[in-house]
Amino acid sequence: MKANMGSADKLIRLLLAIVLILLFYFEVLTDTLGIVALIVALLLTVTSLINFCPLYPIFRINTAKKKEVK
């Protein structure tokens, strides 16, 4: 599994996960929508921590910095 996420992408995902968790915590999102928001927040957090998004290879997206070859 090759890293395909850059640092800006990881930061955005983590911030969005925090927002979703806070919306659930303050009961803005409740019931089924709240559970879906928590699942999405979990997925965003996991993908940002492992530096890999499984959807990126499908769409040929790579936001990771490329290493220079000498």
- Higher pLDDT pick, 68 / 62: 62
Nearest to 10 by CA among 55, 48, 56, 52: 48
Per-residue confidence (pLDDT) for residue 58, from 0 to 100: 95
Model confidence pLDDT, tens digit, residues 2-57: 899 999 999 999 999 999 999 999 999 999 999 999 999 999 999 999 999 999 99
pLDDT score of 68 = 65
> What span, in angstroms and rounded, lies between the C-alpha atoms of 44 and 12?
9
pTM (two decimals): 0.88
- Measured between alpha carbons, how far is 1 from 47 in angstroms, rounded to an integer? 12
CA distances from 26 to 7, 8, 10, 23, 29 (A): 29, 27, 24, 5, 8
| Confidence band of 67 (pLDDT split at 50, 70, 90) | confident
